[in-house]
Structure 1
């Protein structure tokens, strides 16, 4: 348990950051789910639009320290190639 004033403050700050990061992570997952659903439906234009909306959110997750840079790069790359493949199949 936190005893010193500084450790009490750090505990408060930690809780606040946790809440912000949790909300941001949830928001990112929502955007990713929308892209996944659009890909599953087979609609390339909807998938491309969803991906375009998701990319800034993913990038913001990196700058805010919620996600690692390489994780986001990998996700974007894989989603982009899947959206592109929809156009090739059509």
Structure 2
């Protein structure tokens, strides 16, 4: 570990930020699996609700910096294909 106080603080802050980003990405994966299940089950209302939640979460992650803008767009496009019933 670093000897300089500001670097010690920076290391701790980077770890907190890493965990926050990881929470976003993990939750996005969970919601995506949920969307796949509801879309496969032919439950249109549930699929729409799951899709809305997923897109909202992706937008928040992009705004927060946990995901790159293009990655967020790619994930939203993939989610739209799943919701429409097309294979990804």
TM-score tier, shorter chain, comes to 0.7 to 0.9
Aligned positions, number: 86
Larger Rg: 1
Provide TM-score, normalisation by structure 1.
Answer: 0.81
Query: Does the CA-based 8 Å contact 2:39-2:85 persist in structure 1?
Result: no
Query: 1:1-40 deviations in whole A, cap 9, x for unaligned?
Result: 3111111111111111122222222222221121111122
Provide TM-score, normalisation by structure 2.
Answer: 0.83
- Runs of 4+ with >4 A deviation: none
Structure 1 unaligned blocks of 5 or more: none
Write the mapping of 1:30-69 to structure 2, written as runs, cut at 5 A: 30-69=30-69
2:7 is matched with which residue? 7
Superposition CA RMSD, Å: 1.7
Structure 2 unaligned blocks of 5 or more: none
1:70 is matched with which residue? 70
